[in-house]
Amino acid sequence: MTGAEQTDLAAARELEAVAVAVARLAAHHVRSRLGKARATDTKSSPTDVVTEADLESERLIRHELTARSPGSSIIGEELDDQPGDSHIGWIIDPIDGTINFLYNLPVVSVSIAATRHGDVVAGAVTDVLLDETFSAAVGGGARREGAPITASDEHDLATSLVGTGFSYEAGRRAEEATVISRILPATRDVRCFGSAALQLCWVGCGRLDACYQRGLQIYDYAAGALIASEAGAAVEQPADNGHDLLLATAPRILSSIRGLVVGSADR
């Protein structure tokens, strides 16, 4: 590793540490609101809700990031983009799994990614209920609670466990049902947990062999995609494949999963 590469890795690891610390703080706050959630607004559809805890969590995260990384820009799910005057930026999802949170279901996370000059270089995702944090720095591997993680080496689609998620738009859900009809018979099983960030982390640590989803926003996957990739998973982001598709898999089943999701093994 060259001196410049070592410097870049050290900078990324510092940003990872900030993301971990702030994600843990926000997760603690969200955890204190479990069982008390109330929808206060909706976004893309009547089923796409916002709770007061979403707003509280995002305000807390922005405050902490601004204090720890002055001049940074911030992109978040709930509040307006915050421009900065440095080359550091943050992409945050204050509660990934808001519907689960609303119903007091135990798959809820906080996701924070760091960028340098526009590229994602570090990130952290904290599981609110398990109080378990996944993190990564570009070129430096991925971790769960500080210990290295590695993606599955599964090679057989028939014994692969696949995660997915669904749109809030009725028309897109009909298309997703068609995809499920192809995926389900070809795999061990399919799970839908309601948090894209956690599903990506679970691919990274081998709890899932693959996950896919269309229609995600950058704050849904920025941290989780880096974590999965640094853990050795094959990751395609929406801009990579022309199908508005986020895909993370054990490397040897990537083409098979992609073919089923997009409808042709040749695409």
Amino acid 45: pLDDT: 59
Rounded to whole angstroms, how far apart are CA atoms 126 and 28? 10
Q: What angle do CA 30, 36, 41 make, to 5 degrees?
A: 85
CATH classification (class only), 157-262:
alpha beta
Amino acid 141: pLDDT: 98
| pLDDT tens per residue across span 63-91 | 999 999 999 999 999 999 999 999 999 99
- The tokens for 92 are 């945050």
Amino acid 265: pLDDT: 39
Amino acid 266: pLDDT: 36
Q: How many CA atoms lie within 13 A of 8 on its CB side?
A: 14
Domain layout of the chain by residue ranges: 3-148, 157-262
Average pLDDT, whole number, for the chain?
Answer: 93
- The tokens for 58 are 């995002």
H or E segment to which residue 227 belongs: helix 218-230
Q: Is there a contact between 73 and 101 (Cβ–Cβ < 8 Å)?
A: no
What pTM value is reported for the model?
0.94
Q: Is there a contact between 257 and 243 (Cβ–Cβ < 8 Å)?
A: no
In the chain, which stretches have pLDDT less than 70? 41-48, 264-267
As its CATH architecture, domain 3-148 has: 2-Layer Sandwich (3.30)
